[in-house]
């Protein structure tokens, strides 16, 4: 019971942080972050592939951002991986529409695809772990 409450609390904190991140005026700061990551992994700690561009880091950050969404839908709501993926795609699409209509942010179908891919990863891993745990 205590574990369930801790998990619900973490889920609520993540949802609030996600709402602040996608709803706030951080577009420029997020773009700068992708450039900083590019410089770090291309030049300072040169582990990135030669063809990696700053835009690729933006895509990767969108994937990583939604891994917990898929995982939380599977774990907290008890849904299957495919349901979590469809729900996350709808959530991501709604976020992009809100950004387009009401916020000074750039909306992108590429973000929806990347977010959905991240949710799929989180949902598949969580579903697999849940099945193994019995």
What string of pLDDT tens digits covers the 134 residues of the chain?
A: 677 788 888 889 998 998 888 888 877 888 898 999 999 998 999 998 888 899 899 999 999 999 999 999 998 888 999 999 999 999 999 999 988 888 777 788 999 999 999 999 999 999 999 888 87
Query: 39, 49, 118: which is closest to 85 by C-alpha?
Result: 118
Domain span including residue 19: 2-133
Q: In the chain, how many domains are there?
A: 1
Output the pLDDT for position 4: 76
Task: For residue 65, count other CB atoms closer than 10 A to its CB.
Answer: 19
Give the alpha-carbon dihedral of 129, 77, 95, 117, to 10 degrees. 20
Residues 6+ apart with CB under 8 A from 103: 23, 25
Structure tokens belonging to residue 19: 């709402």
CB 11 within 8 A of CB 72: yes
Output the pLDDT for position 70: 96
Output the pLDDT for position 73: 93
């Amino acid at each position: 019971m205590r574990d369930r409450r801790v998990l619900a609390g973490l889920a609520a904190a993540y949802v609030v942080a996600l709402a602040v991140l996608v709803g706030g005026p951080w577009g420029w700061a997020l773009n700068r972050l992708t450039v900083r990551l590019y410089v770090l992994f291309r030049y300072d700690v040169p582990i990135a592939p030669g063809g990696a561009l700053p835009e690729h880091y933006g895509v990767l950050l969108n994937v990583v951002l939604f891994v917990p969404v898929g995982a939380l839908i599977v774990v907290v709501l008890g849904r299957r991986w495919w349901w979590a993926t469809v729900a996350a795609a709808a959530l991501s699409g709604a976020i992009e529409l809100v950004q387009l209509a009401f916020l000074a942010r750039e909306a992108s179908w590429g973000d929806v695809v990347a977010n959905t891919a991240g949710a799929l990863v989180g949902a598949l891993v969580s579903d697999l772990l849940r099945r193994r745990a019995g």
